[in-house]
Copies of this chain bind each other. A is one copy, B any other.
Amino acid sequence: MPIAKLDPIDRKILAELQADGRMTNVELAKRVGISAPPCLRRVRTLEESGFIRGYHADVNSRALGFEVLVFAMVGLQSQAEVDLSAFEALCQGWPLVRECHMLNGEVDFILKCAAPDLSTFQSFLTGDLLTARNVASVKTSLVIRGAKDEPGVPFEVLEQRLAQTS
């Protein structure tokens, strides 16, 4: 199911639902310029084909007491596939770790971690991350302040790109 299967209306639907995932179907249909029933069919198709993975409320973590956001750069001793997968599995089991990406270059992984306070993070750092098997080095950077945090995909870039090649 490549991107070629998406027409401009499908892309508009995706952009609108990315901006407001609780929009009613009639409102969505009005915005994309078709009537409600075909609009709903398109949304279902986009869900089933995996273009839409789900819908999530954007919860204000700071208001809930998560004051600490940290990026951790992790280097491993062994980069064998088994060991990489083992570390990834560990990360998936740690709730404080919200994101884990394998990188090229000097470090092996970057982790984005959220915690209620510094002491919670530090007990995770020293108790879990630094003592995990195969972890060679961890460099942490505290987020002083957030300047931008956009969920999802820049549809503007996509449309520009499609306009050029058409």
Residues of chain A at the chain B interface (Cβ within 8 Å): 1, 3, 6, 14, 17-22, 50-61, 63-66, 69, 71, 88, 91-92, 95-105, 107, 109-110, 114-116, 120, 141-154, 156-158, 161
Q: Name the residue among A103, A114, A115 with the largest chain B CB count within 10 angstroms.
A: A103
Contact B52 A147 (CB under 8 A): no
Contact A114 B154 (CB under 8 A): yes
Q: What 9 A-B pairs have minimum CB-CB distances, sorted nearest first? A: A17-B57, A95-B154, A88-B147, A21-B55, A100-B148, A22-B55, A53-B58, A103-B141, A100-B147
Contact for A52 among B59, B95, B105, B154, CB less than 8 A:
B59
Number of copies: 2
A149 to chain B, nearest CB (A): 5
